Amino acid sequence: MLNVGKFIQKCGGKAGKAPVIAVAGSTGAVGVEFLRLMEERSTTFSELRLLASSRSAGKKQKFRGQEVVVQEMTKDSFKDVDVAFFSAGGAQSKSFCPVAADAGAVVIDNSSAFRMDPEVPLVVPEVNARQVLNAPKGIIANPNCSTILMNVVAYPIHVEAGLKRVVVSTYQASSGAGAAAMEELKEQARAWVSGKPLPMDIFKRQYIFNLFSHNSKMDPDSGYVEEELKLVNETAKIFAGSEAAKKWKQPFGVTGTCVRVPTLRAHCESINIETHNPISPERARELLAKAPGVTVVDDRVNNKFPEPVDASHKDDCLVGRIRTDATLPDKRGLWLFMSGDQIRKGAALNGIQIMELLLASKGK
Amino acid sequence: MLNVGKFIQKCGGKAGKAPVIAVAGSTGAVGVEFLRLMEERSTTFSELRLLASSRSAGKKQKFRGQEVVVQEMTKDSFKDVDVAFFSAGGAQSKSFCPVAADAGAVVIDNSSAFRMDPEVPLVVPEVNARQVLNAPKGIIANPNCSTILMNVVAYPIHVEAGLKRVVVSTYQASSGAGAAAMEELKEQARAWVSGKPLPMDIFKRQYIFNLFSHNSKMDPDSGYVEEELKLVNETAKIFAGSEAAKKWKQPFGVTGTCVRVPTLRAHCESINIETHNPISPERARELLAKAPGVTVVDDRVNNKFPEPVDASHKDDCLVGRIRTDATLPDKRGLWLFMSGDQIRKGAALNGIQIMELLLASKGK
């Protein structure tokens, strides 16, 4: 039987056994958040194994008041592991996810290494939860942060009115480039205030009081950066495996411009949507208000809409500025503005939700 | 004869007399920039009259090494004035622009007070320069900053391929809300670094490491803020008076989401364009490279594109990320990302260019 099936049989449902959980990359921004979420959500386990590179091995991380020693990730790290969450970078995932899967673990991988592999499901639980079961390699991929956030707010509109074309401009936080990038932004603020030269080790430019085109790898032919291509390709894969794909069979267009802004840990996205069927802002607001993982913040009277500082450390994505784009006919145009915690729903929370989906499944 | 005709007859062309220039709101961010530009551009005048509210009257402003005393703006301030630049707020413009025009001055008004008045031309010199002559009230309006910046980069595309629909998301600097707003953002940085409470007098919220929906007045019915409606309505008026309107008679759709980001004085705009005719990125780059007021910054190899810190204190708007949006068929979709100095081309420079247009006109 395949890993996911075995996992569900052993650990799924109320009678399931507590799993052995491994966190690969436990000392990174996303790894730390994963542990925090396990505390918050009272995740049950029989063993928690923290794994990292040799550089971090031996460090201690606090978990529920106790200190857990970080182990160096090796080929032998995954014996008896039931589920392994990976957020240790693409190279580590490529090397170790198959090892963990071979050892019998269900792997939830936050890197981009396997996302477009046709044998690896790419899952946003609010959109295509059932795909977790189609994981012949034992690996389930966590999508890119801006993809997850956009998908969570766009899906309820898709179910109702059918997406035809989605045009996205992002406002991405420093956290997307890791903990050191967040620190560099803060350090630049301190340097700016004290009149010292700005540290530019990571982004090689002024970041405080500035913004710039997303620093992911550029495809020089198309002119798109990887972050933008992820938004396009990952969304297509995720939505193709959703329930709504039975109703809306035609793929829809997604295009984006990704920008880094000097914020800390929540991304924003300005989303312009063309739909097949008309949809009023009132109906869109109603759908989003009851959608899982979404909180509507759309107070026109008090000019209160989604902001990064409000979305930070929240599970839900905030969405507002819900209004008709009248340049498209017959209420087939809709604007949304959203903010979501990049480290949380954009990475660690989505991963833990995938694990919870499996744990909630009944053993066969 | 109307004010503009008289002005051109008196001051226009090489033989023209040096005009009496009044700057209303000379102590504000835009007024100061207007004076700086007059210095940079060696603007000739026979008298420079600095006007402001009673609060600022009596202050001295440096101009070409000399101190000029600011006078209180009253109904008698405009005697013998040939051209008056107004950036003293909408209420002051409403009261005093007609007074200045009655006194015979050509008024260039940076406020929104007269922009949509059918008898007042709304001018971006790169787009509809000839409209300066159609000013029966003696008033010429300077468009809103985000409108000017978008128009300068969109017009060359329009001339060639015909705009059909323009979808804009903005990244607007603090300067758009005035000098005190820029100062509040800097003060918040200082307070954040020293762990003190953030000053929130102007925006009533955290601005450093945050962003928020543009704080202009909201139309609670449509859900659009004034800044967004300006982008729509002003662009329609400006382009309707352009040369290209003879070729592309149909109005095109403009829609936007306006956002304030924690930058100081240059706005950015992520612009998605649908055109009537196909246009390749190469052709768009070629057109923009030779367009007035535009510098192409589009280095895919070194990931170097327009940034606020590079656009600040520059006359030209920077444009890059020029690429095909493949969700529209047959190269009829184009992305641009631009940055332009909000105080300069977004306000003071555009105003001084209007004055220069008149000064360059030959007397009849």
Report pLDDT digits (tens) over B210-246. Answer: 999 999 999 999 999 999 999 999 999 999 999 999 9
Does B303 contact A at CB distance below 8 Å? yes
Is pLDDT at A20 greater than 90 in this prediction?
yes
Number of domains in chain A: 2
- Per-residue model confidence (pLDDT) at position A117: 98
Per DSSP bridges, beta strands A259-260 and A294-296 are unpaired
CB B71, CB B49: distance < 8 Å: yes
Closest-CA residue in chain B for A298?
A: B223
Across the interface, which of A194, A263, A335 has its CB nearest the CB of B209? A263
What is the identity of the amino acid at A65?
G
CB contact A283 to B (< 8 Å): no
Same domain, A58 and A201: no
DSSP-assigned letters across all residues of A44-69: --SEEEEEE-TTTTT-EEEETTEEEE
Q: How far apart are CA A336 and CA B325, in angstroms?
A: 20
Residues of A in contact with B192 (CB under 8 A): 189
Q: Does A245 have pLDDT greater than 70?
A: yes
| B265/B320 Cα distance (integer angstroms) | 19
Tell me: do B133 and B255 sit in the same domain.
no
**For residue A42, what are the contacts with CB-CB under 8 A and spacing of at least 6?**
none
| Residue A362: pLDDT band with limits 50, 70, 90 | confident
Domain that holds residue A75: 3-142+347-360
Q: Which residues of A touch B327 (CB under 8 A)?
A: 165, 167, 253-255
For residue A189, which residues of chain B lie inside 8 Å, CB to CB? 189, 192-193, 208-209
Mind telling me how many Å the CA of B236 is from chain A's nearest CA? Answer: 13
Of B1, B100, B92, B85, nearest in space to B37 by CA: B85
Rounded to the nearest angstrom, the minimum Cα separation between B76 and chain A is 40
- Assessment of whether the complete model's pTM goes beyond 0.90: yes
Phi, psi angles (nearest 5°) of residue A261: -115, 160
**The predicted structure's pLDDT at residue B71:** 98
Q: Does residue B75 sit in helix, strand or coil?
A: coil
Instruction: Give the CA radius of gyration of chain A.
Output: 21
B139 and B93 belong to one structural domain: yes
Nearest to B264 by CA among B350, B149, B183: B183
CATH number, domain with residue A204: 3.30.360.10
The confidence score (pLDDT) of residue B1 equals 67
Query: Are A189 and B208 an interchain contact pair (Cβ–Cβ within 8 Å)?
Result: yes
Phi-psi region of B313 (alpha: psi -120 to 50; beta: other; left: phi over 0): left
Which among A165, A222, A300 is the nearest to B218, CB-wise?
A: A300
- Determine contact, residues A354/A7, Cβ cutoff 8 Å: no
Helix (H, G, I), strand (E, B) or coil at A185: helix
Q: Which residue of B has its CA nearest to A186?
A: B193
**B9-25 pLDDT, tens per residue?**
999 998 899 999 999 99
Q: Are residues A355 and A278 part of one domain?
A: no
Tokens of A90: 């693409």
Active site residue A268: no
The tens digit of pLDDT for each residue in A86-95 reads 999 999 999 9
List CB contacts (< 8 A) between A206 and chain B. 307, 309
Verify that B277 and B351 share a domain, yes or no: no
What sign for the dihedral angle of Cα A223, A227, A233, A236?
Answer: negative
b/e sequence A165-195, b meaning 16+ C-beta within 10 Å: bbbbbbbbbbbbbbbebbebbbbbbbbbbee
For residues A198-224, give the mean pLDDT.
Answer: 96
Which residue shows structure tokens 């436990």? A26
b/e for B104-122, b at 16 or more Cβ within 10 A?
Answer: bbbbbbbbbbbbeeeebbb
| Chain length of chain B | 364
**Confidence grade of residue A69 (pLDDT, cut at 50, 70, 90):** very high
Digit-coded pLDDT (tens) for B306-344? 999 999 999 999 999 999 999 999 999 999 999 999 999
Same domain, B330 and B207: yes
Put simply, the chain B residues between 328 and 357 with a CB less than 8 A from any chain A CB are 328, 333, 335, 337
Across the interface, whether the CB atoms of B255 and A169 are under 8 A apart is answered no
CB-CB neighbors (< 8 A) of B259 in chain A? 171, 268, 270, 337
- Same domain, residue pair B136 and B161: no
Q: Does A190 reach chain B within 8 Å, measured CB to CB? A: yes
Say whether A262 and B261 touch across the interface (CB within 8 A): yes
Give yes or no: residues B103 and B151 share one domain. Answer: no
By Cβ distance, the residue of B213, B255, B263 closest to A211 is B263
- At residue B75, the pLDDT reads 97
CA distance linking residue A213 with residue A211, whole number of Å: 7
pLDDT tops 90 at residue A348: yes
Task: For residue B281, list chain A residues with Cβ-Cβ distance below 8 A.
Answer: 223
**CATH code (residue B79):** 3.40.50.720
B131: DSSP letter: G
B28 Cβ neighbours under 8 A, 6+ residues apart = B52, B87, B88, B178, B179
The mean pLDDT of A62-85, rounded to a whole number, is 97
Tokens 């707020």: give the residue. B89
What single DSSP character describes residue B221? T
Average per-residue pLDDT for chain B: 97
- B220 → closest Cβ in A192, A262, A301: A301
Asked whether residue A308 falls in the same domain as residue A281, the answer is yes
Q: What is the pLDDT of residues B159-189, one digit of tens each?
A: 999 999 999 999 999 999 999 999 999 999 9
Single out the catalytic residue among B11, B145, B258, B317: B145
Which residues of chain B are within 8 Å of residue A320 when distances are taken between CB atoms?
213
Between chain A and chain B, the number of residue pairs with CB atoms below 8 A apart is 163
Mean pLDDT of chain A: 97
Interface probe for A, chosen from B188, B267, B270 (most Cβ of A below 10 Å), is B270
Indicate the residue of B193, B210, B303 with minimum beta-carbon distance to A193.
B193
Residue A272 has pLDDT above 80, yes or no: yes
Q: What is the mean pLDDT of residues B97-122?
A: 98
Among B171, B210, B323, the residue with its CB nearest the CB of A308 is: B210
Question: How far apart are the CA of A277 and the nearest CA of chain B, in angstroms?
Answer: 18
Q: Do B213 and A303 touch (CB under 8 A)?
A: yes
Please tell me the distance from the alpha carbon of residue A15 to that of residue A180, in angstroms, as a whole number: 42
Considering the domain architecture, whether residues B136 and B119 belong to the same structural domain is answered as: yes
Whether residue B145 lies in the annotated active site: yes
Name A107's Cβ contacts closer than 8 Å, sequence gap at least 6: A3, A83, A84, A86, A97, A100, A101, A138, A139, A140
Q: Which two tokens stand for residue A128?
A: 């295509």
Q: Suggest the residue from A327, A334, A339 to mutate for an interface test with chain B (most B CBs closer than 10 A).
A: A327
pLDDT reading at B247 higher than 80: yes
Q: Would you call B322 and A223 a contact, using CB atoms and an 8 Å cutoff?
A: yes
Does A167 contact B327 at a Cβ distance shorter than 8 Å?
yes
Q: To probe the interface with B, which of A146, A168, A169, A187 has the most B CB atoms within 10 Å?
A: A169
Angle between helix A145-161 and A226-240 (nearest 10)? 40
Phi, psi of B153 (to 5 degrees): -90, -25
pLDDT value at residue B274? 98
Nearest to A257 among B281, B303, B335 (CB): B335
CB B308 within 8 A of CB A209: yes
Q: 3-state DSSP call for residue B63? A: strand
Tokens for A48? 């928690």
Which residue in B192, B210, B261 is closest to A189 by CB distance? B192
A322 interfaces chain B, CB cutoff of 8 Å: yes
Whether residues B297 and B256 fall in one domain: yes
Query: Which residue from A339, A308, A245, A58 is spatially nearest to B207, judged by alpha carbons?
Result: A308
Sign of CA dihedral B139, B140, B143, B144: negative
**Are B262 and A209 inside 8 Å of each other by CB?**
yes
- As to burial, measured by CB atoms within 10 angstroms (0-12 exposed, 13-18 middle, 19+ buried), residue A59 is middle
Q: Is the pLDDT of residue A363 over 90?
A: no
E-strand spans in chain A?
Answer: 20-24, 47-52, 60-63, 66-69, 71-72, 83-86, 106-109, 139-141, 163-171, 212-213, 253-257, 259-260, 266-275, 294-296, 317-324, 333-341
Exposure pattern of A266-305 as b/e (b: 16+ CB <10 Å)?
Answer: bbbbbbbbbbeeebebebbeebbeebebbbbbbebeebeb
* A254 and B CB contact within 8 Å: yes
Confidence at residue A24, expressed as pLDDT on a 0 to 100 scale: 98
| Residue in B305, B239, B127, B337 with CA at minimum distance from that of residue A270 | B337
pLDDT of B351 above 90 = yes
Residue of B nearest to A335 (CA): B257
Q: Using a pLDDT cut of 70, give the percent of chain B over it.
A: 99
- Determine how many CB atoms are found less than 10 A away from the CB of residue B175: 27
Question: Does the CB of A180 have a partner CB in chain B at under 8 Å?
Answer: no
Give the pLDDT mean for B39-67. Answer: 96
Question: Is-contact A285 A298, C-beta < 8 A?
Answer: yes
Chain B residues lying within 8 Å of A264, measured CB to CB:
209
Please tell me if residue B223 touches chain A, with a CB cutoff of 8 Å. Answer: yes
Check whether residue A118 and residue A165 sit in a common domain: no
What is the dihedral angle through the alpha carbons of A171, A242, A11, A114, rounded to the nearest 10 degrees? Answer: -60
Backbone angles phi, psi at B7, to 5 degrees: -60, -45
The Cα of B18 is separated from the nearest Cα of chain A by a number of Å equal to 40
Asked whether the beta carbons of A263 and B206 are under 8 A apart, the reply is no
Angle at which helix B145-161 crosses helix B281-290, to 10 degrees, equals: 120
Please state, in angstroms and rounded to a whole number, the distance separating the CA atoms of residues B179 and B200: 15
- Does the CB of A233 have a partner CB in chain B at under 8 Å? no
CB-based contact B303 A206, cutoff 8 Å:
no
